[in-house]
Amino acid sequence: MLVVAGTLTVIGWLMQHLADQGLIANGAYGIATLVAGLPIIFKAISALRARVMSIELLVSIAVVGAVAILEFEEAAMVTFLFAFGNFLEQRTLQKTHQAIQNLTEMQPTTATMVVDGQYQEVEIDEVDEGTVLVVRVGDQVPVDGEIISGSAEVDEALITGESKLVDKTTGDQAYMGSIVENGQILVQAQKVGEDTTFGKIIELVEEAQDNQAPMSKFIDRFAKYYTPFVLVVSILILLFTKNLRLAITILVLACPGALVIGAPVSNVAGIGRGAKAGILIKGGDVIDQLAQVDTILFDKTGTVTEGRPTVKSIKEYQEDHWLALAADLEKQTNHPLARSIVEYYEKRGQKTTADFNLPITTIKGIGIKSEYQGQTIWIGSRRVLTENQIELTTQQARDLQVIESDGQSVVLMTVDQKLVLMMGLVDQVRKGVKETFEKLKQSGIDKQWMLTGDNSFIAEKIAKTIGINQVKAQMLPEEKALFLEQLQNDGRHVLFVGDGINDSPSIAKANVGIAMGNGTDVAIETSDVVLIDSDFSNIQNARRVAKATMRNTMQNVGIAIGTVALLLIGVAYGWVNMASGMLFHEISILVVIFNAMRLLRMKF
HEC per residue, 341-392: HHHHHHHHHCCCCCCCCCCCEEECCCEEEEEECCEEEEEECCHHHHHCCCCC
Do residues 211 and 284 lie in contact, with contact meaning Cβ atoms separated by under 8 Å?
Answer: yes
> For residue 420, how many other CB atoms are within 10 A of its CB?
20
Q: Output the CA angle 521-290-471, nearest 5 degrees.
A: 75
Paired sense of beta strands 279-281 and 118-123, if any: unpaired
CA-based nearest residue to 262, from 545, 569, 599: 599
Question: What three-state secondary structure class fits 235?
Answer: helix
Annotated catalytic residues are 299
Q: At a CB cut-off of 8 Å and minimum separation 6, what does 533 contact? A: 159, 160, 161, 162, 278, 517
CA-based nearest residue to 589, from 256, 212, 248: 256
Give the whole-angstrom CA distance, residue 604 versus residue 601.
10
Give the whole-angstrom CA distance, residue 188 versus residue 178.
15
Q: At a CB cut-off of 8 Å and minimum separation 6, what does 495 contact? A: 290, 293, 295, 296, 297, 445, 510, 511, 512, 513, 514, 539
Q: At a CB cut-off of 8 Å and minimum separation 6, what does 229 contact? A: none
Which phi and psi angles does 145 have, rounded to 5°? Answer: -170, 180
Give the whole-angstrom CA distance, residue 533 versus residue 152.
20
